[in-house]
Amino acid sequence: MRSDLQAENLAEAILMTFAFFDTFNYPLTLFEVWRLCSLRADFGDIERAVVEEFLFSRLEQKNGFYFLRGRENLVEERRAFSIISEQKMRRAKRAVRLWHFIPGLKGVALCNNFYYRATSDIDLFIITAKGSLWLTRFFSVSIAHLAGFRIYKNKVANQLCLSFFVSDDSLDLASLMLPDSDPYFIYWFAFLDPIFDDGVFRNLWQENQKILQKLPNYSCPSAAPFRVIKEKQHRIWPIFFERLVRPWQERRLKNKKIKPENEASGVVISDRVIKVHENDRRREFKNRYEENIKKYL
């Protein structure tokens, strides 16, 4: 296995795709394999590759889902996942409806959404207007807390995790990736599922071509109308309010979240990005992924 996690041919690239998602108990359809593969290919190339000896001896298929040999149980988990995913989507949309009046809110997407469990929280990625990052965070966190949607103490399942905000003048997320390789972040980005959009997600896809180059068959999603609450025109509030609510939020976050053991890109607090994943598990996921590759490659 190469240390840079680069596949030498299409069969290896396909197997590495399965190796990653297997660490999250997530079987794939052939269309998903093609869309998430790290090498450019036609869909027909994927269909042919999975029946050739190299992959045929390592993969199995059931009910339209493919998975590494011996992992047939994942198909039933994927069925349960679909039900859980839609439940969490509906809950997230109910919460986001309460945010309509927030002047700087431009986009909201579900994220970390390929390993949901019944006990999982609901991670949201939130885009704000330039100059309103802290004000938008203040309103969204406060409303979610008062309405009972936010994680609080031991109440985690189906609660909102509001730990990733970016301003629309800082949509290039490549600087937040781990410096060597970051397969988790690439797939995290690919699985963003917009539920509120004023058009800003088009800009997000355009600004992150460096990430999308890692998935050459991927096409950026257009949010289905039944999933997006509705578009809106945001309003800019005076900068005074942004400056009013920032200092104490920033002080609270830094006291609570910044610790020497945290990954530098896991906790970012600035006027353009608030990312407070103090338990950043990307290196753990990467190590599990590499072990899976060693096992099957």
Give the CA-trace dihedral at 281, 284, 285, 289, to 10 degrees.
170
In a domain, 195, yes or no: yes
Instruction: Give the pLDDT of residue 119.
Output: 87
In a domain, 14, yes or no: yes
Predicted confidence band of residue 246 (pLDDT cuts 50, 70, 90): confident
**Nearby residues of 12 by Cβ (< 8 Å), 6 or more positions away:** 297
pLDDT digit string, tens, across residues 86-96: 999 999 999 99
- 91, with CB counted inside 10 A (0-12, 13-18, 19+), is middle
One domain, residues 109 and 236: yes
Q: Beta strand pairing status for 273-276 and 59-62?
A: unpaired
Confidence (pTM): 0.90
Give the Cα separation of 44 and 251 in Å (integer): 54
One domain, residues 105 and 56: no
Is the CB of residue 234 less than 8 Å from the CB of residue 202?
no
Question: How many domains would you assign to the chain?
Answer: 2
In a domain, 2, yes or no: no
In a domain, 89, yes or no: yes
Give the Cα separation of 103 and 245 in Å (integer): 14
Helix (H/G/I), strand (E/B), else coil: 106: strand
Q: Which residue has the higher pLDDT, 5 or 218?
A: 218
One domain, residues 289 and 276: no
Q: Give me the phi and psi of 118, to 5 degrees please.
A: -60, -30
pLDDT digit string, tens, across residues 99-158: 988 889 999 999 988 888 888 899 999 999 999 999 999 999 999 999 999 988 888 889
One domain, residues 90 and 62: no
Here the CATH number for the domain that contains residue 19 is 1.10.10
In a domain, 256, yes or no: yes
* Residue 173 domain boundaries: 85-280
